[in-house]
Amino acid sequence: MTQCRSRSFPDEAAIACGRDGGFTYFGGSRADTWSVDPSLRSRLERLNAEFAALDIEPDRAVWLACDLLLDGVDTPALCELAGESPTRLDKWEARDLLRQVLEELGIPPLSYEEADWFLGREAALRILDGAPSAEWADETWRITLKLAGDGDEVFAALANHDTDPEPFRGFVREYLRLADEQSGAVTP
């Protein structure tokens, strides 16, 4: 069994990595050798998008690494990331480790444009699902910038969302259509 040590706490924190001494991979051409829990896959996809958008939350990266290890995914960088302190790891160290994790898992990093569509699509789905605006308000810029065009109708619709949500929801549905075209996804 391989020992992975934390760079933040080299003497105190060690996480045992390895399942029968081997590594398990996910993604890319090796996707058929391991299946991941759908919620973990979703979190990993979001982290990949955040990586491309330069907006990584180190604590979320550490907790995802821990959860992936518990689910049986095992790579050296994943062990190292899981061994980091979620409160002391800075964004740049998290980014470096995440780059290694994605590479070891065979997951190609998203481009900035792919990440932008992915994160905007997630926000759009939350809006249409009726989530409180606190859960999506910071992401609406992705939607409004794509749909702004020559007029300010989308901004007016967003400003009036609390009193009359349907006009903005119409813009959000249009954004989802465009996002689905970009990604090849199909919104239910």
pLDDT higher than 80, residue 4 = no
Check: CB of residue 85 under 8 Å from CB of residue 147.
Answer: no
In this prediction, residue 126 carries a pLDDT of 93
pLDDT higher than 70, residue 7 = no
In this prediction, residue 32 carries a pLDDT of 36
pLDDT digits (tens, 9 = 90+) for 62-77: 999 999 999 988 899 9
In this prediction, residue 186 carries a pLDDT of 58
In this prediction, residue 122 carries a pLDDT of 92
Residue 112: phi and psi, rounded to 5, are -60, -40
Torsion of CA 177, 141, 101, 63, to 10 degrees: -110
pLDDT average, residue stretch 117-128: 93
Report domain extents, the chain: 2-105, 112-183
Of 54, 61, 62, 48, give the one whose Cα is nearest residue 9. Answer: 62
DSSP 3-state of 2: strand
pLDDT digits (tens, 9 = 90+) for 138-178: 888 889 888 887 678 888 899 988 889 999 999 999 999 99
Instruction: Work out the angle between the directed axes of helices 91-105 and 58-70 (0-180°, nearest 10).
Output: 30
Query: pTM score, two decimals?
Result: 0.72
Distance, CA of 58 to CA of 84 (rounded, Å): 9
pLDDT digits (tens, 9 = 90+) for 12-62: 223 223 233 232 333 333 433 457 788 998 899 999 999 998 888 999 999
pLDDT confidence of 188, banded at 50, 70, 90?
low
In this prediction, residue 30 carries a pLDDT of 40
